[in-house]
Structure 1
Amino acid sequence: MSGMNHLTIFQLNDTHAYLDLHPEIFFEGNGEGRFRNAGGYARIATILNEARSANPDGVLVLDNGDTFHGTYPAVTSMGESLVPILNSMGIDGMTAHWEFAYGPNQLKKLSSLLNYPMLANNCYDERSKQPVFPTHTIIEKAGLKIGVIGIACHIVDKTMPPHFSSGVYFTLGNEELPAQIEKLRKVDQVDLIVVVSHLGFPIEVKIASEVDGIDILLSSHTHNRLYKPVRINNTLIIQSGCHGSFIGCLELEIENGQILNYHHKLIEVLEDIQPDPKVQALINLVLVPHKDLLQSAVGETKTALHRYSQLESTMDNLLLESIAEVTNAELAFSNGWRYGAPIPPGPVTMNDLWNIIPTNPPVSTVELTGKELLEMLEENLERTFASNPYGQMGGYVKRCLGLKMFIKIENPAGTRIQELFIGDRRVDLYHKYLAAFVTMQGVSQKYGTNRRNSDYHAIDALKQYIEKRGIISIGLNGTVQVV
């Protein structure tokens, strides 16, 4: 290779099956968020098409995963309804996380239907110990040979329901990278190494600091809106929000395998972007059959419901209050999920409820001792805030109702909780407390006794709670206090 090469890399990450326009929160200096509609694959297609017109052979489009799961049309089709839309986008490769929610066999089926590769250097078959998916691919764009390595989310077999990882296991993927990079460089003679990872920004920064030879690292999982790249050990790292509200664009000038200049833009997928008509038609085919169900109103909210906060959120407080009410439990727990488009004040629809908890799990109860509560909460805090990023394997802090804990985030594992109160009383280590929860991420199997499923599923509980009141107002309870 000689001369100057102009390559444009587009990143999609954590779209969570948001196919079309939806509400999004944009942070502002007054400490409050402003709602605007954003997103949709047809608008993203317009952005990509314009870039391809300007640089016909120089556009690389990569998807970090959390793509096939998160909304009703995706979940009810086990991801298959998205395939025609994704195949129309000109994507060059992807990796995975929530894609495993349908089980590895369904993910293999979905991958076989795509016209681009699913990449994972860290997902192995339990029997053969061989990679389940290709570890990398080589793509030629802008006169360059580009080696693209995928790293799937490593927590699938560690913190998520067992069927997600049936017959497979995951490593962190970092130890595999040096040999893969060396082979791509020396044997395959690639000009550029791009890593597409779903490990989360803190972990990816650490990997970039330890592993030489990565030119570009496309980061995801933690829903960061990076308005400028982070440069670590000559690796450029970008991440581009979530829900398809943004698309990351990295324009590179490359000469003799060296990045001489780069320009990055975090592009908001604005409502007024003209949707690509072919992609919009494919989206409509998926959405129209569910329109009557999903647009039906359940009630109204006076307060914004969202998950864009680390310690506690209004959206999850609604979920917790709903599951506590149908079970008469004194405590309630759910996972600190990041996904779920925000709901502005106004009508709440069935579509909103499915976006809150698309798996619609049963509402369960369990009896937990005070000692188990402390252990469970300390474990969650360590998985969220581990000082070594390689120990981080969660979303936000576990969502809690009925308790109040005072924590030191900076403390070592097992010592973060300074005080824990249940109601207005200090926790009793030997008392058993009845807790409602959803999914094993709410309360892991190793904690508690007398686990039972109620007659309710999560969406039933949410619907009943809102319909009973008509208009809801959900605030923050100060459940987790940083001291």
Structure 2
Amino acid sequence: MKLNVLFINDVHGYLAPHPELFYDETGEIIETVGGYAHIAGLVEAIRDENPNTLFFDGGDTLHGTKPLVDSKGEVIIPILNSINPDAVVGHWDFGYGPERLKALAKQLRFPILGCNVYKENGTNFLRPTMMYEKEGIKIGVIGICAMIIDKVMPERMGQGLKFTSGIHEVPLHIKNLKAQGANVVVLLSHNGFPQDVALLEHVKGIDICLSAHTHNRIYKPIEINGARIVQCGCHGAFLGKLTLEIDRNSIKNFDYKLIKINSALPKSETTERLVEKVLKPYQDITKFVLGYTDTILHRYSTLNSTMDNFLLKAIAHATKTEIAFSNGWRFGAPIGVGAITENDLYNITPMNPPVSTVELTGAEIKQMLEENLERTFCKDPFGQMGGYVKRVLGLQINMRIENPNGHRIQEIYYKDSHLKYERIYKVSFVTSQGVPNKYGKNRREHDQRAVVVMKEYLKNNPVFTPDKIQSFRLV
């Protein structure tokens, strides 16, 4: 028997085809890919060819673009139900709060899984596992939501919940699923590729790990302790297709393809109509040009980001500060050379947070950056708790990535001189992920929000060019 296991992850609310970053011999290029109509069309074609097909979504599904944020996830429900995945897990899906996630889950035709999410009384908030059967073959699925939700994400996301790594729960669920007759065990995880590798190194009995969160494009499955692990980029640009040959209740062969979702693929007319209905009220902001960029703006680099350089210059301009911080978010479709629309600005910050200022000592700035570098590069994967490195404007940081916690930063320059640790600096930022609440004094939330200040910045700087000097430099 041949079993197909299909997978998407980290779509982040990108309902329609959109720009995505790729590479050729010239460097960075932009292609138009993705869109649920083409994802649905491909899934339908594969299901028609082989009914022994399961389809999973790795989460970051209900949040990430303006239509989804405006409706608190509501508008994507009919689209997801039209495609009908077999299960999903979550991260930013908790962005509207746990109770809202529960309300949305009731409208879905498929379960949200999470064996590592607990209520205050110690009971499971979500269903931990599912069992599926195809031609007598039983496939057990264990879900893991992002362990970082109650640790580094905005407080409302994990209100009243506790999130674990799953490393203690997974072996118990493997045992239970196999006791129920599971021939294949799948781990559907939003912890991230490094964390999933670490878990698989310690836990036996997983056949397939569908990994998410870190936006890796894995073109060939990586084998860890008998498990095959895959991850499919982000924004719905790819779909992973695993084909398992199962004979006498055991897996005899694996085949895998990472399929780019482009216009050459079949399209579901039903799903396309649902997408068009959601996007119709937002057509104006996709066409309204506010300015231009002479460089591709994106967030696909671990240390520095041209897209966040634009965001930080805008908030610094609005607050008349020279130093600015934002989180190292991974989500956000790139902006190609040319026009910048209002919709692009919402893709940069779909939650449209207020701009804030705070006074930090130089010592606090260094401590905050060292903390962020440890959360990004911790040698223990379960200590890695965030996206990319914090985005910074106005400072140049020379660092050694291989150094131990607290000692990675060699120098911090501000205006061509070393940052003075005893001096107080007024800085601007967006969200508590930009500057955590435990740092600084005289924290003030301004009236203007991120999208407005980016609009104002483009009025004064209609053609944006990113800074040539990057904030973080490896030495």
* Residues in 1 aligned to 2:387 and 2:302: alpha-carbon distance in whole angstroms: 9
User: Does residue 70 of the first structure (1) align with residue 64 of the second (2)?
Assistant: yes
Corresponding residue of 1:93: 87
> Is residue 91–residue 149 contact of structure 2 (8 Å, CA) maintained in 1?
yes
* Amino acid aligned to 1:68: L
Q: For structure 1, list consecutive stretches of 5 or more residues without a partner in the other structure.
A: none
* Residues in 2 aligned to 1:356 and 1:78: alpha-carbon distance in whole angstroms: 17
User: Does residue 463 of the first structure (1) align with residue 455 of the second (2)?
Assistant: yes
Post-superposition shift, 1:129?
Answer: 1.1
* Residues in 2 aligned to 1:430 and 1:368: alpha-carbon distance in whole angstroms: 10
User: Counterparts in 2 of 1:261-300, with a 5 A limit?
Assistant: 261-300=253-292
Residues 272-310 of structure 1 deviation map (CA, whole Å, 9 limit, x = unaligned): 324211100010110001212343111111111111101
Aligned to 1:351, the other structure's residue is in SS state helix
Post-superposition shift, 1:476?
Answer: 4.1
User: Does residue 131 of the first structure (1) align with residue 127 of the second (2)?
Assistant: no
> Is residue 303–residue 475 contact of structure 1 (8 Å, CA) maintained in 2?
no
* Residues in 2 aligned to 1:36 and 1:142: alpha-carbon distance in whole angstroms: 40
Post-superposition shift, 1:329?
Answer: 1.1
Post-superposition shift, 1:136?
Answer: 0.6
> Is residue 322–residue 394 contact of structure 2 (8 Å, CA) maintained in 1?
yes
* Residues in 2 aligned to 1:221 and 1:45: alpha-carbon distance in whole angstroms: 22
Aligned to 1:114, the other structure's residue is in SS state coil
* Residues in 2 aligned to 1:54 and 1:460: alpha-carbon distance in whole angstroms: 49
Deviates more, 1:336-345 or 1:134-143: 134-143
Corresponding residue of 2:222: 230
> Is residue 224–residue 239 contact of structure 1 (8 Å, CA) maintained in 2?
yes
Residues 441-471 of structure 1 deviation map (CA, whole Å, 9 limit, x = unaligned): 0000011110001121000111111122222
Corresponding residue of 1:11: 7
Give RMSD over aligned pairs. Answer: 1.0
Residues 143-176 of structure 1 deviation map (CA, whole Å, 9 limit, x = unaligned): 3211111000011111111111111111111111
Cα 1:142–1:417 change in 2 (3 A) is: farther
* Residues in 2 aligned to 1:167 and 1:391: alpha-carbon distance in whole angstroms: 22
User: Does residue 51 of the first structure (1) align with residue 46 of the second (2)?
Assistant: yes
> Is residue 22–residue 29 contact of structure 2 (8 Å, CA) maintained in 1?
yes
* Amino acid aligned to 1:238: V
TM-score, length-scaled by structure 1: 0.97
How many residue pairs match? The answer is 475
* Residues in 2 aligned to 1:318 and 1:304: alpha-carbon distance in whole angstroms: 11
User: Counterparts in 2 of 1:365-444, with a 5 A limit?
Assistant: 365-444=357-436
Q: Runs of at least 4 residues of structure 1 off by over 4 A?
A: none
Aligned to 2:277, the other structure's residue is in SS state helix
> Is residue 66–residue 96 contact of structure 1 (8 Å, CA) maintained in 2?
yes
> Is residue 42–residue 267 contact of structure 2 (8 Å, CA) maintained in 1?
no
Deviates more, 1:424-433 or 1:231-240: 424-433
Post-superposition shift, 1:482?
Answer: 0.5
Residues 341-374 of structure 1 deviation map (CA, whole Å, 9 limit, x = unaligned): 0000111111100000001000000000011011
* Amino acid aligned to 1:267: I
User: Does residue 159 of the first structure (1) align with residue 155 of the second (2)?
Assistant: no
* Residues in 1 aligned to 2:397 and 2:292: alpha-carbon distance in whole angstroms: 31
Aligned to 1:279, the other structure's residue is in SS state helix
Residues 237-287 of structure 1 deviation map (CA, whole Å, 9 limit, x = unaligned): 000000001111111101233221111111000123242111000101100
Post-superposition shift, 1:107?
Answer: 0.4
User: Does residue 203 of the first structure (1) align with residue 186 of the second (2)?
Assistant: no
Residues 397-430 of structure 1 deviation map (CA, whole Å, 9 limit, x = unaligned): 0000010111110111111001111221111111
Q: For structure 2, list consecutive stretches of 5 or more residues without a partner in the other structure.
A: none
Cα 1:347–1:66 change in 2 (3 A) is: same
User: Does residue 23 of the first structure (1) align with residue 7 of the second (2)?
Assistant: no
